[in-house]
Amino acid sequence: MLPTRFYFSNAVGSVDFVPHAYVYLHWSGAPLSSGEFRALYVHARNLLQRHELKAILADHQAMPSAPDPADQQWLLTQWLPETVAATSLARYAALPTADPTRRLHTETVLEGLRQRLQVAVFSDLDQAGAWLQEA
C-alpha cells in the first residue's frame, strides 16, 4: 500500500489518506461505539470533500464486532446518500475481517453500497489500492 497521511482518529479507528488517490479507513480493534463509528465515516466524507478524492479503502480486518444494525442502516440511508451528493465518491474497496460474525460488509451492506458506488471486496491491501487507482 502507498504511504498514507493521518487525518483523524478516535478509539475505534483512523481515517488516513493517500494524496490524490483515496481515503484509508481502518479500525483499531477497540470495542465499537455508535458515536465513534459514525464519526469515522463523517470524517471520511470531510476528507473526500477537502481533497476531492473519489474512493475509500475500508480495512475492517481489525474490526472487533459488527456494528449495530442501526449504525449499518445509518451508513446506507443517511451517510451514503449524503456523501455521494456532496463528494465525487465513486469507488469503495473493502477488506473484511476473516470472522464473518464481526463483518460490517454483509451482503446487505455491500448491496446497499453497490446501488450507488462501484464496490469490490479484497483480501490484500495492495490489490485494493491498485483497484482504487484504476479509476
Quickly list H helices, 52-115.
Answer: 69-74, 80-86, 107-114
Residue type, 9: S
Report the pLDDT value the prediction gives residue 97, as an integer from 0 to 100. Answer: 84
Report the pLDDT value the prediction gives residue 102, as an integer from 0 to 100. Answer: 67
Report the pLDDT value the prediction gives residue 121, as an integer from 0 to 100. Answer: 95
- Consecutive sets of 10 residues in the chain, 135 residues long: mean pLDDT of each? 92 96 96 96 97 96 90 96 97 88 74 95 95 88
Q: Cell 484509508 sits at which residue?
A: 24
Sorted by where each starts, the structural domains of the chain and their CATH numbers stand as: 5-134 (3.30.750.24)
The sheet with strand 13-18 has its strands ordered as 5-10, 13-18, 22-27, 55-59, 91-95, 118-121
Query: For residue 11, what are the contacts with CB-CB under 8 A and spacing of at least 6?
Result: 28, 30, 33, 36
Q: Alpha carbon of 59 to those of 62, 86, 105: distances in Å?
A: 8, 23, 11
